[in-house]
Structure 1
Amino acid sequence: MDVPVVVTVRLIRSFEQRNYKPVVFQQVSLEQTAQDFMRCVRDDIATRPGLPPPFREYRYDTMKIIHQAHGAKTNELVMSLDDDEKLILQDDQTLRAAGVANETEVGFFRKDDYVFYKANPKTTW
């Protein structure tokens, strides 16, 4: 049975400047694919009130699990750079199969930015 859950999506504009905005999504079906969920998030943030235009218009293309409810948190301020194989959501995978559960926090970012930052993880703050 598919029980809708709450997922927090951290919209990450810049890893170097720690520029991100958390957005809470309720009634999320874990049976949808990661690709479908990303499309829903993009559609929602395009018109969400109170979200600055730079966050609305950014070309997000990748999601990664940041934190599970009742789990250990990373020391990284924006997102952990570890376990990409396990934590990055695959487009055709259901959210449940990817490990998303109630009160999971996922990062939504541009993969090119992440790869660049991971190669040289320095902040400009």
Structure 2
Amino acid sequence: MPLKEVAITVHLIHSSEHHNFKPIVYHRGNLDQTEKEFIVFLEQGAPLRTTLPPPFRNYKYNKLNIIHQAHKSKRNELVLSLENDNRLLLKEESTLKAAGVIHETNIAFFCEVDCTVKSDF
């Protein structure tokens, strides 16, 4: 029987250039929801987390990217890389399961405009 509720670690990335991020673990992530529904869930939950500093609670995030999936090889980037990796950007209309999210997947949540890729990462 496949897991419907999984643990997902979301890295709230405030600045990829300065490596500013905060991980949040969601223990009951639903793989049947779409990326758009998951973004709304994250946007509503982040301002309520008192453990997050205000810059992370009030930041405008809009994109999700898979950083790492459990039991697979890790990439060398410290925070986020979008170079030649559009396959890991989640699509708004697809479900998390269809996008390849599994139990213990790490996902980056960031603002696409602000997180520009630097060649030194």
Fold match (TM-score > 0.5): yes
**Structure 2 Cα separation of the partners of residues 66 and 55 of structure 1:** 19
Q: Taking every aligned residue pair, what percent have the same amino acid on both sides?
A: 43
State the one-letter code of the partner of 2:109: F
Report the AA paired with residue 19 of structure 2: R
SS, match of residue 66 in structure 2: strand
- Give TM-score scaled by structure 2 length: 0.92
SS at match of 1:41: helix
2:70 aligned partner: 69
Residue 35 (structure 1) shift: 0.5
Contact 2:4 2:32 in 1 (8 A): no
Match of 2:50 in 1: 49
Q: Distance in 1 between matches of 2:82 and 2:89?
A: 11
Secondary structure of 1:112's aligned partner: coil
Contact 1:16 1:121 in 2 (8 A): no
User: Could you list the runs of 5+ residues in structure 2 that have no partner in the other structure?
Assistant: none
Code of the residue aligned with 2:78 in structure 1: it is L
SS at match of 1:98: coil
Moved over 4 A (4+): none
RMSD over aligned CA atoms reads 1.6
Distance 2:82 2:112 in 1: 12
Partner in structure 2 of residue 100 of structure 1: 101
SS where residue 25 of structure 1 aligns?
strand
Q: Which runs of 5+ in 1 are unaligned?
A: none
Q: CA deviation at 1:122?
A: 4.5
Count of matched residue positions in the alignment of Structure 1 and Structure 2: 120
Per-residue deviation, 1:75: 1.1
Q: What TM-score do the two structures reach when normalised by structure 1?
A: 0.89
